[in-house]
Structure 1
Amino acid sequence: MRSLLKAALLVFLICSTLIPHAGAEAKTDALYVSIGQAISAVKAEDRDALSKRIATLAKQSKELADSDEKAVILKRLSTLKQHQDASFATISADLTALSTAVRTLEETMRPAQDATARTRLLDLHEVTKQMRQADAGERKTLEQTLLKEWTARESVVREESIGHYGKVEMALSAIRIAQARQTFDQTEWNEALDQFDTSIDSFVEGDIVKTASVELTDLIRLLDQASDALVAKDLDGARSTLTTFIAQWPSGEGAVRTRDSALYTQVETDVPLLLARLNDETRNATITSLQELSASLGQLTDQTSYTFVDAMLVMVREGLEALLIISALVALTRKANLRGERHIWFGAVLGLLASGLLALIIQFFFSTALASVGREQIEGWTGLFAVLVMLLVGNWLHSKTAITSRQTQLVSDLSRTSLFIVSFLTIFREGAETLLFYVGMAPAMTPLALGGGILAAILLIGLVSIAVIYFGVRLPIRRLFLGATILIYVMAFKILGVSLHALQLTGVLPVHPLALPPVAWIGFYPTIETVVPQVLVGLIIILTVLRKQRRGTSLKKVS
């Protein structure tokens, strides 16, 4: 318990150190988001939505630190309130004036420009120049060189302009997609390189790029634009639009995932495959698929608030699998009299605290698409490490299945470090995302519904966990170990597919589709990049099982 308190104190101190540095920039980002939403309400001529956005702007403006720039913002906001019932053209002009005032405040907050760092960014043009002239054998190597050189220089862009940083990352994704095409298109390749160069030049020249949230209607519009481009037989335009959709999807996925998990899975699985398979032969089928996805997403736009059930289902969906693994491990340690239960619970609690810390960092440092992309990548890389540890734990569990067939008591303990790591990672992988979903849902529901839903989910997951532990310790020890082995191996297979797919969605991995149906509930996504590693893991599991069975047979003969 003393160690747990120390860990909690450490997390609190880190949060206290980080938040003040991020607060000012986060507040201007929030203002830009609200202004953008107000502009959308003006375009839709929706005065109720506009009134809500103005109220939000008033609250956000009051939280700004006192300054001359804040006084101007409050003055512009006062004018906007006075014109709230005026024509939409007048309101639009007021919003433009308010946006200009926020931009002025942002300029005063911007740190002094690092001339040397900016000059080093221009050196990247030499790499892109070589990439335009490269042959097939050189393109991949130069792409890796560009990524390496950008990584060495990216900090100045990330610290000064999240908007520019997101544009550069999107350009890098376009370069990866162009490189991964089965049939290379020089025009697409050059356009992606142009996009990268333009983004770098825009930052160096000091252009302002506003960050904005992605609404569900924005995602629907992109699908419709891609469909219209295909109807006009503009395959390049459709590819570009779908690429933009994939880049923006992580920022808008929460609105889908919290309302329709099946549709969320379908969109996340289908769109990358539709893009990768897009050609003249698949054009009509792609049009149909995009129109169906657009119509399904459109049905969600009618829901303007969340309920108690929505809040409950978010945590149940995200947390049940993790708690199932932890409960099974606890049942094992109790049944077999193994040391390590304390490490399991400590890993779970620390994973939850680390998730909270990560959610705070993302919320305060990155309030745009970049945050969502980073969150997906963290989940992807963390998942791959979790798979490795799960395979080691599964191997140990299966070995003990053979031993317990002839012994009533175990003679060795599972590494307490492994128990801790598995417990920590299963909670950490989903924890931050769950917390961020609740942050997004909170403004659209009552505190009672939000709190009640979370408490109901905790109660439900807790009851399931207690049941797993209660019935687990009453099973014959061999069956308990066998069941835990199967659970660990199945979850490793699923997490591997989900993690690789998350890296595909953020452009880290390319997408080469296979002619197979997806099975999302088991983490099976039909692409070369996901299937090949899963097949290898499956072979490792099979070989491990066969080897352990032979060893168990030998032990029986000896005894």
Structure 2
Amino acid sequence: MLSYYNTVSLGVPGTAMASYTHLSEAERWALVFHIGQLYFDDTQKQAGRALWADTPDMRRIVPDMGTLVQTTPEALAANHPDHAMPLLAALIDRPALLAPGQDRALTTARQMLDAADQAYRSGNREEAARAALSAYLDGFELAEATLAATDRKLMAQIEADMMALRNAIREEETVNAVTQRVERLQVALNQAENRLHSDEHSVAAAFSGSFLILFREGLEAILVLAAMFAFLKKSGRSEGLAYLHAGWIGALVMGLATWFAATYLIDISGASRELTEGLTALLAAVILIGVGLWLHNKSYASRWQQYVAGQMQAAMNRGGLRAIGLVSFLAVYREAFETVLFYRALWSQGQHTAVLSGMVIATILLAGIAVALFRFSVRLPIRQFFSFSAALIGVLAVVFAGKGLAALQAAGWINAQPVDFIDLPVLGIYPTLQTLLGQGLVLMVLLAGILYNHRSPSAAPSH
């Protein structure tokens, strides 16, 4: 295909074959693929498409467009005599089969797993660890949302097995043991690819994946924003709304900038993505602990009366309002950063109508939750309002702490020691010792703050 492209671009001097440089690069490639597919008959094309759909190993032979255009039929037939012509017929006829998306994500996962196995065999444990981490972050994770909509059990199995592989490399298990783990993962990835290519699931999986990505990532941000908005309205601090809105609007702008950069300027690695999400989540958790304890402090009637009378205005001065703006930014950006990258991968695999439908439904539901939460909270009496808001913010602090630590584990910054415990990612609960200890620490800080507020002299009811 590459030689065809050069001929179309440069022409053949002294013959009727003229140069087609007046066409754009994309138009020349389209012409080349049109010419190429004329070489094959419909039987070969249909056989190749069936082979591509039913035999995931074929996708390792021609993993991307670069390999396709540089491969000759003779070279492919030398290694795969029975499959070369049907495979080329299908891919040249329908190059969209190689479009980046979940296929590319799973191909990357396979390649990185092979690299990890080879590095471990050669004694390079650090390189093996990096490759195993990349297999998840730069590969499988980008296909997780859609696979979860199709086969959640398989998704959870692969995720757990990849973590077990990273632990096995870190703990220096035998070469045979690591190789066996890699082989099991390769089999599971083949199963995942077959599930994702099932025609009856493709539209539903795209819709469900799109819905789950936005709803899952947006729910926590909506809860934080709704609680902060209700507090500012209830306490008469309308001037703080400017900080709140500036935070989430700035986060959305940064999210769009991230999408632009990831698409046109740089390649954002999975480790960088998880590191950003983890650090912003932990910073948000720290701020939410302070905000939650401050709200709990105001749930005592005497302290609220002091606040309204102006005796405690310093507790929510411009510095406090800036903190609300920062929480607003962090809560939205940590979700937007990951969401735009996941949607970039999801969009590239097609089914655009289903993807857009999932986004619209998730947006409507999130907006409904925000309105309902705001209306419910502002109708509460002052004390119950602050108690409810403090409890919600405290729970979110625990959730953010768990998710932040899990992201740092995924990025390879901290170890992940599995324990026998429930797995509830929606609440930031992961069955690892480090995340559970971190959440336990946040709970202890919150309980200590609540106890201090309760025993403080000014907590006594006013008469």
Does the pair score TM above 0.5? Answer: yes
- In the alignment, what sits opposite 2:138? 251
- In the alignment, what sits opposite 2:167? 276
Match status 1:83 vs 2:36? yes
Equivalent residue of 1:475, what SS?
A: coil
| TM-superposed deviation, 1:452 | 3.5
Query: 1:184-230: per-residue Cα shift (whole Å, max 9, x none)?
Result: xxxxxxxxxxxxxxxxxxxxxxxxxxxx987244267469869999x
Contact conserved, 2:134 with 2:270, CA < 8 A, in 1? no
Match status 1:336 vs 2:235? yes
Aligned partners of 2:196 and 2:68: how far apart in 1?
A: 33
- In the alignment, what sits opposite 2:275? 377
Distance 1:432 1:386, change over 3 A: same
- In the alignment, what sits opposite 2:442? 537
Equivalent residue of 2:269, what SS?
A: helix
Aligned partners of 1:269 and 1:467: how far apart in 2?
A: 37
Trace 1:23-38 onto structure 2 (pairs within 5 A): none
- In the alignment, what sits opposite 1:297? 192
Distance 1:72 1:454, change over 3 A: closer
Contact conserved, 2:287 with 2:323, CA < 8 A, in 1? yes
Match of 2:427 among 490, 497, 522: 522
Match status 1:215 vs 2:168? no
Contact conserved, 2:223 with 2:370, CA < 8 A, in 1? yes
Distance 1:465 1:296, change over 3 A: farther
Contact conserved, 1:216 with 1:301, CA < 8 A, in 2? no
Name whichever of 355-364 and 334-343 sits farther off. 334-343
- In the alignment, what sits opposite 2:296? 398
- In the alignment, what sits opposite 1:436? 341
Distance 1:434 1:395, change over 3 A: same
- In the alignment, what sits opposite 2:460? 556
| TM-superposed deviation, 1:556 | 1.3
TM-score (norm 1): 0.56
| TM-superposed deviation, 1:259 | 4.1
- In the alignment, what sits opposite 1:359? 259
Distance 1:95 1:338, change over 3 A: closer
Distance 1:475 1:491, change over 3 A: same
How many residues align? The count is 375
Match status 1:388 vs 2:286? yes
Trace 1:150-549 onto structure 2 (pairs within 5 A): 215-218=104-107, 221=110, 244-252=131-139, 253-260=141-148, 262=152, 267-268=158-159, 271-277=162-168, 279=173, 290=185, 294=189, 297-298=192-193, 299-302=195-198, 303-305=201-203, 307-339=206-238, 340-367=240-267, 370-403=268-301, 407=305, 410-411=308-309, 412=313, 414=316, 415-507=320-412, 509-517=413-421, 519=423, 520-527=425-432, 529-549=434-454
Contact conserved, 1:406 with 1:556, CA < 8 A, in 2? no
Aligned partners of 2:455 and 2:214: how far apart in 1?
A: 42
Aligned partners of 1:68 and 1:517: how far apart in 2?
A: 63
| TM-superposed deviation, 1:358 | 1.7
Aligned partners of 1:226 and 1:518: how far apart in 2?
A: 32
Query: 1:385-418: per-residue Cα shift (whole Å, max 9, x none)?
Result: 2122112211211211234687497444632111
| TM-superposed deviation, 1:380 | 1.6
Contact conserved, 1:311 with 1:454, CA < 8 A, in 2? yes
Query: 1:24-50: per-residue Cα shift (whole Å, max 9, x none)?
Result: xxxxxxxxxxx9xx9xxxxxxxxxxxx
Trace 1:41-56 onto structure 2 (pairs within 5 A): none
Q: Which amino acid aligns with 2:247?
A: G
Contact conserved, 2:406 with 2:435, CA < 8 A, in 1? yes
Aligned partners of 1:235 and 1:510: how far apart in 2?
A: 25
| TM-superposed deviation, 1:323 | 0.5
Aligned partners of 1:69 and 1:385: how far apart in 2?
A: 54
Q: Which amino acid aligns with 2:34?
A: K
| TM-superposed deviation, 1:291 | 7.8
Aligned partners of 1:461 and 1:434: how far apart in 2?
A: 15
TM-score (norm 2): 0.66
Aligned partners of 1:250 and 1:514: how far apart in 2?
A: 19
> Unmatched 5+ residue regions in structure 1?
1-34, 39-53, 59-66, 101-211
Query: 1:394-445: per-residue Cα shift (whole Å, max 9, x none)?
Result: 1211211234687497444632111111111111111132223333233444
Equivalent residue of 1:465, what SS?
A: helix
> Unmatched 5+ residue regions in structure 2?
10-19, 45-60, 72-99
Aligned partners of 1:330 and 1:464: how far apart in 2?
A: 13
Q: Which amino acid aligns with 2:441?
A: L
Distance 1:421 1:380, change over 3 A: same
Distance 1:407 1:235, change over 3 A: farther
Aligned partners of 2:184 and 2:450: how far apart in 1?
A: 41
Distance 1:235 1:487, change over 3 A: farther
Distance 1:450 1:558, change over 3 A: closer
Contact conserved, 1:227 with 1:290, CA < 8 A, in 2? no
Contact conserved, 1:347 with 1:424, CA < 8 A, in 2? yes
Trace 1:85-124 onto structure 2 (pairs within 5 A): 85-86=38-39, 98=69
Q: Which amino acid aligns with 2:196?
A: L
- In the alignment, what sits opposite 1:16? none
Aligned partners of 1:228 and 1:371: how far apart in 2?
A: 21
Aligned partners of 2:337 and 2:116: how far apart in 1?
A: 34
Aligned partners of 2:228 and 2:445: how far apart in 1?
A: 22
Distance 1:293 1:441, change over 3 A: same
Contact conserved, 1:254 with 1:437, CA < 8 A, in 2? yes
| TM-superposed deviation, 1:499 | 1.8
| TM-superposed deviation, 1:460 | 1.5
Distance 1:431 1:546, change over 3 A: same
Aligned partners of 1:270 and 1:276: how far apart in 2?
A: 10
Contact conserved, 1:223 with 1:291, CA < 8 A, in 2? no
